[in-house]
């Protein structure tokens, strides 16, 4: 039986429109890179359209041998949207008006004539999509909000608690909508390490390794606040703490300094390429309730979650209600809630959390999405979808 996948010809082209910044964070680009890597393995040529925000990840994209088309930051006077009403809630994340962004993207897309355009950006909606989409190009939207219209052929919302019906009024009737963490875009190493990670947790290992990962940017230095709160916690003397950050994190130097003064050995690592292994080796994580939630679930890593953005609140509540993770709450209560929760987490509680989390994500989401893209292509080729 053939493995699910997107059977590209070598000439196929896929373009991603996504951004990273100190405000947006790194999650949108990272999940697009996961999908792009899988597409490339199937023979597609993948390009990225990204704006040069402060904290962008364009250099990382290029280091992974993808072609990146840089969108320059406009003058301050050009940043305002041309329309005052009807803007997406996150329109300011674009750094310019949607019309100006479309004007910059349109010639690149016209030249590349991609088979697929993949858009992962809270600031863009159907108006932008209709303005830039070349004829015969299929459109995939990756979203988490269900708060604006799209003219997509395929839409992915990988979040727990989301339902297909949430997008009924936002997409065309023929749009294929994929919802839930079953479709989470994870790199293959997470599925590869799932079995050994879960087997280790079945042994009820002692609490020896704590992993802290609060996003690649962490613009508000929540990591520093977590380290400060941990000083008041009754933790095992032999504990090792590992902190994962991105190279563009503005508080990186401060966190490194704080790590040197912790009562337990605390190692700060930057831009790592083996996150799956580090998660598999950890006994507990303190992390943001963003897209890394699905990586932790796949490996059954018990987690204390922190809500860093409003769009993470629904995911955090759903995971907490199921018992797949524990919600620490917003940033301003960490000093109170972290010691209390840690004191209650014995080996049995960690194991139960791990078991529940592991049922949510199997690690095959990227392959499932590739298979859905292939089905859309097949429907287009036989005329069921008219662009």
Q: Is 138 annotated as a binding residue?
A: no
347 — pLDDT class (breaks 50, 70, 90):
confident
Provide the CATH number for the domain around residue 112. Answer: 3.40.50.11190
383 — pLDDT class (breaks 50, 70, 90):
confident
Question: Do 111 and 36 lie in a common domain?
Answer: yes
pLDDT tens string 361-373: 999 999 999 999 9
Question: Do 239 and 118 lie in a common domain?
Answer: no
Identify whether 27 is part of a domain: yes
Domain with 268, as residue range(s), is: 188-358
Question: Do 174 and 222 lie in a common domain?
Answer: no
Give the model's pLDDT for residue 385.
Answer: 56
What does the block give as tokens for 296? 């932790």
Q: Is 51 annotated as a binding residue?
A: no
Question: Do 117 and 142 lie in a common domain?
Answer: yes
Question: Do 283 and 367 lie in a common domain?
Answer: no
Identify whether 166 is part of a domain: yes
Question: Do 18 and 163 lie in a common domain?
Answer: yes
Domains held by the chain: number: 2
Give the model's pLDDT for residue 1.
Answer: 33
Give the residue numbers annotated as catalytic, written as ranges.
28
Identify whether 387 is part of a domain: no
Provide the CATH number for the domain around residue 245. Answer: 3.40.50.2000
Question: Do 102 and 55 lie in a common domain?
Answer: yes
Residue 8 has pLDDT above 50, yes or no: no
Contact 246, 290 (CB under 8 A): no
Residues in the chain: 387
pLDDT tens string 179-208: 999 999 999 999 999 999 999 999 999 999
């Amino acid at each position: 039986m053939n493995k699910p996948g997107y059977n590209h010809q070598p000439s196929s082209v896929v373009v991603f429109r996504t951004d990273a910044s100190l405000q947006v964070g790194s999650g949108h680009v990272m999940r697009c890179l996961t999908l792009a890597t899988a597409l490339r393995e199937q023979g597609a040529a993948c390009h990225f359209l990204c704006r040069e925000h402060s904290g962008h990840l364009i250099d990382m994209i290029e280091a992974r041998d993808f072609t990146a088309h840089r969108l320059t930051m406009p003058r301050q006077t050009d940043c305002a949207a041309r329309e005052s009403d009807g803007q997406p809630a996150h329109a300011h994340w674009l750094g310019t008006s949607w019309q100006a962004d479309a004007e910059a993207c349109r010639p690149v897309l016209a030249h590349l004539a991609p088979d697929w355009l993949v858009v992962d950006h809270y600031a863009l909606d159907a108006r932008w999509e209709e303005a830039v989409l070349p004829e015969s190009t299929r459109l995939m939207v990756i979203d988490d909000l269900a708060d604006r219209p799209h003219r997509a052929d395929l839409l992915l919302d990988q979040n727990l608690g989301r339902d297909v019906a949430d997008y009924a009024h936002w997409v065309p009737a023929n749009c294929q909508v994929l919802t839930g963490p079953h479709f989470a875009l994870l790199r293959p190493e997470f599925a590869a390490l799932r079995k050994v990670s879960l087997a280790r947790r079945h042994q009820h290992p002692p609490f020896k390794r704590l992993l802290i990962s609060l996003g690649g940017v962490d613009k508000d230095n929540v990591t520093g606040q977590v380290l400060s709160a941990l000083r008041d916690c009754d933790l095992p003397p032999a504990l090792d703490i590992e902190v994962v950050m991105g190279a563009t994190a503005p508080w990186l130097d401060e966190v490194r300094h704080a790590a040197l003064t912790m009562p337990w050995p605390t190692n700060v690592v930057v831009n790592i390429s083996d996150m799956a292994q580090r998660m598999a080796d950890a006994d507990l994580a303190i992390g943001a309730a963003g897209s890394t939630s699905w990586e932790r679930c796949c490996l059954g890593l018990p987690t204390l979650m922190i809500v860093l953005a409003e769009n993470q609140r629904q995911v955090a509540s759903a995971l907490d209600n199921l018992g797949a993770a524990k919600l620490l709450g917003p940033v301003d209560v960490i000093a109170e809630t972290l010691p209390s929760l840690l004191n209650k987490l014995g080996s049995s509680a960690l194991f139960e959390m791990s078991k529940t989390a592991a049922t949510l994500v199997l690690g095959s989401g990227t392959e499932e999405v590739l298979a859905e893209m292939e089905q859309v292509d097949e429907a287009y080729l036989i005329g069921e979808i008219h662009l």
